[in-house]
């Protein structure tokens, strides 16, 4: 008696797309969009894009590296992104950063002095000339946002940051600007008039919000917990009770004052770890660094900080004041992935409970004569112009 011939079993389309293809990296999905019109439509569908983003959020991040030069006004026609992807071992990374997107043409040029922030595969690129670009390096889409309100700030700090408004299901870029900024001729007092506005991706114009209650300084901003955090301009603090941190809530579009932890004035950075705002500053001496964590979000009266860990960089990684940048990027299993600048620029693992340091990557070996912006990165299919989520 002949054996029955096994037939081919075809996966239902919903199972194929929403359980199988949705787990693939973006570069493969971009190729699959060329199979036929129906595949293109399914991969570009908002439900598919959203589910792919959710899988990406749950996976360990890659590290996005953007080389840049210190030149403030010099223009370049392009920008390049490198990606350090997770390795085979849990919490590990590949030995070298691979090229993700090379020379993305920026309409009208881009200053070599930039700052980058990331949210769900979208990278906001703030420049010293107040131009702002948003790029999805994985899909190679790059959009120049329309000009915002005029800014008289002569210091030209790149001020934009990108985040996700869960309440409105929108990706939002935030920027501040100065209508007036300087010191009075007679009183020598710091005098300013500051504004703030947001741009919703998929829209066509900036929207003014309430004005910030204090002046804002040049420390890079951070997005976490549906809010943008910035450091106040030191000259704006009228007394010791003034808060050096501003929180802009995407939910109610208002500002709140947040007290800072005990801080040394020579160094401080904001970072996000495990969904919490962290504040890095020198400890009791200039040979240690304290990482504080905001445990209870809220207003001036309710916010609480706790000391997450104390780090001893050591002379090899810029001990003391030579360590001018200690930026935590990601935390897992009691370790922090940190970018250290001082003696060169390096990515290192720091153990939060012991002085163990493990070097991951020397960024100077990757691209010399450049500084580097480094952010955790999770690729997505999100379209900047259509912004389907």
300 Cβ contact partners less than 8 Å away, ≥ 6 residues apart: 243, 256, 257, 258, 259
- Mean pLDDT, range 37-42, rounded to an integer: 91
pTM for the predicted model, two decimal places = 0.89
Cβ–Cβ contacts within 10 Å for residue 122, how many? Answer: 25
What's the pLDDT at 1? 47
Residue 240 φ then ψ, to 5°: -65, -15
What's the pLDDT at 377? 95
d(CA 364, CA 347) in angstroms, rounded, equals 11
Q: Is the pLDDT of residue 299 over 80?
A: no
d(CA 129, CA 113) in angstroms, rounded, equals 9
- Bridge partners of 131? none
Q: Is the pLDDT of residue 302 over 80?
A: no
Which pLDDT band holds residue 257 (cuts at 50, 70, 90)? confident
Which pLDDT band holds residue 78 (cuts at 50, 70, 90)? confident
315 Cβ contact partners less than 8 Å away, ≥ 6 residues apart: none
> 126, 65, 114, 118: which is closest to 378 by C-alpha?
118
Map residue 39 onto helix, strand or coil: helix
49-58 confidence digits (pLDDT tens): 999 999 999 9
Calculate what percentage of the chain has a pLDDT beyond 90: 39
145-202 confidence digits (pLDDT tens): 999 999 988 666 778 999 999 999 999 999 999 998 887 666 677 788 999 999 999 9
Considering 38-47, 182-191, 341-350, the range whose residues carry the highest mean pLDDT is: 38-47
Radius of gyration of the chain (CA): 22
Buried b (16+ CB within 10 A) or exposed e, 316-350: ebbbbeebeebbbbbbeeebbbbbbbbeebbbbbb
141 Cβ contact partners less than 8 Å away, ≥ 6 residues apart: 135, 383, 384, 385
Query: How remote is the C-alpha of 241 from its chain's centroid?
Result: 29
Map residue 4 onto helix, strand or coil: coil
Q: Is the pLDDT of residue 237 over 50?
A: no
- Mean pLDDT, range 205-215, rounded to an integer: 94
Domain locations along the chain: 66-258+372-389, 266-355
Least confident of 99-108, 173-182, 318-327: 318-327
């Amino acid at each position: 008696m002949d054996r029955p011939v096994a037939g081919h079993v075809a996966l239902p389309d919903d199972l194929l797309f929403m359980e199988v293809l949705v787990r693939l990296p973006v570069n493969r999905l971009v190729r699959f969009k060329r199979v036929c019109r129906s595949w293109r439509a399914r991969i570009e569908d908002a439900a598919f894009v959203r589910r792919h983003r959710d899988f990406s959020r749950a996976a360990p991040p890659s590290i996005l590296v953007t080389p840049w030069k210190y030149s403030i006004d010099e223009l370049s026609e392009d920008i390049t992104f490198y990606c350090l992807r997770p390795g085979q071992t849990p919490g590990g990374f590949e030995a070298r950063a691979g090229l993700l997107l090379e020379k993305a043409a920026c309409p009208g040029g881009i200053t070599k002095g930039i700052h980058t922030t990331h949210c769900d595969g979208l990278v906001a690129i703030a420049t010293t000339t107040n131009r702002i670009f948003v790029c999805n390096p994985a899909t190679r889409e790059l959009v120049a946002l329309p000009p915002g309100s005029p800014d008289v700030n002569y210091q030209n700090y790149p001020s934009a940051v990108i985040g996700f408004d869960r309440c409105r299901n929108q990706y939002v870029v935030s920027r501040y600007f100065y209508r007036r900024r300087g010191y009075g001729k007679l009183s020598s007092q710091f005098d300013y008039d500051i504004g703030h506005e947001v741009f919703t991706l998929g829209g066509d114009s900036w929207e003014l919000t309430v004005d910030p209650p204090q002046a804002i300084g040049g420390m890079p901003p951070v997005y976490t917990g549906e809010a943008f955090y910035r450091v106040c301009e030191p000259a704006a603090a009228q007394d010791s009770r003034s808060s050096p941190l501003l929180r802009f809530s995407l939910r109610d579009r208002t500002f709140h004052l947040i007290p800072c932890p005990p801080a040394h004035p020579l160094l401080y950075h904001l970072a996000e770890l495990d969904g919490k705002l962290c504040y890095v500053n020198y400890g009791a001496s200039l040979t240690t660094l304290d990482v504080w964590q905001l445990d209870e979000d809220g207003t001036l009266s309710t916010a609480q900080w706790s000391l997450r860990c104390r780090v001893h960089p050591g002379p090899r990684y810029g001990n003391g004041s030579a360590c001018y940048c200690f930026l935590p990027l990601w935390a897992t299993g009691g370790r922090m992935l940190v970018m250290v600048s001082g003696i060169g620029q390096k990515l290192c693992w720091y153990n939060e409970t012991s002085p163990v340091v493990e070097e991951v990557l020397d960024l100077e070996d990757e691209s010399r004569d450049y500084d580097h912006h480094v952010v955790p990165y999770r690729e997505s299919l999100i379209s900047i112009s259509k912004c389907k989520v």
